[in-house]
Chains A and B, each alone.
Chain A
């Protein structure tokens, strides 16, 4: 069964600190992996998209890694800011006829002053 699991479920860090969010998936055949940021009550906004051949991708203070062999990805946030408080959702696309998006449940991050 195609699944995406994220950890931790929630995380509290102090402003200025770094953090790393984890994503494990069992989606096959794999097409791409995306990280989205979702503010409360708003739609998800794309941070990165990585294909099979990409190991790392950065978007400002956000750096995503992908290990297609172990089917793991991480999102590293550097020098966190209060505005980073949001849910971060890992999404994997299956390379089948529908190219369906499979969503994780997200990690809820709270950055405190």
Chain B
């Protein structure tokens, strides 16, 4: 059974551009969460989706948006990229609605570099 898959694995973008990151959860998992991890720090929560609805949002600007599709895969979109958006973007899937009351499985992340 495949784990959480994210694409692409690496990405280089220019300031001002937009980017779309993709995540496919473990089969049967209905919850997807997105995290941003800057080098040397722990992951910071961006969004959580459960059953195609947004269930939580972290302290990120409106340039960040996401959605979840009927097959429970998810996209994270970032507009007007800034140098500070350079980070490892992690996707986690879980069975339950809450991030913390069920096991969370992480993908290997998308490394975004903004130049």
Contact = CB atoms under 8 A, between A and B. Distances in A.
Contact of B100 (A4, A41, A43, A99): A99
Interface stretch (B61-69, B77-85, B102-110): B102-110
B99 A99 contact: yes
Which of under 10, 10 to 19, 20 to 34, or 35 or more describes the interface residues of B?
A: 20 to 34
Contact of B42 (A46, A49, A89, A95): A89
A1 interface: no
B40 interface: yes
Interface residues of A, number: 24
Interface of A: 4, 31-32, 36, 41-46, 49, 89, 91, 93-95, 98-101, 103-106
Which A-B residue pairs are the 9 nearest by beta carbons?
Answer: A93-B100, A99-B98, A43-B106, A103-B42, A99-B100, A99-B101, A43-B108, A105-B42, A101-B99
Interface of B: 4, 33, 35, 40-45, 48, 55-56, 88, 90, 92, 97-101, 103-109, 111
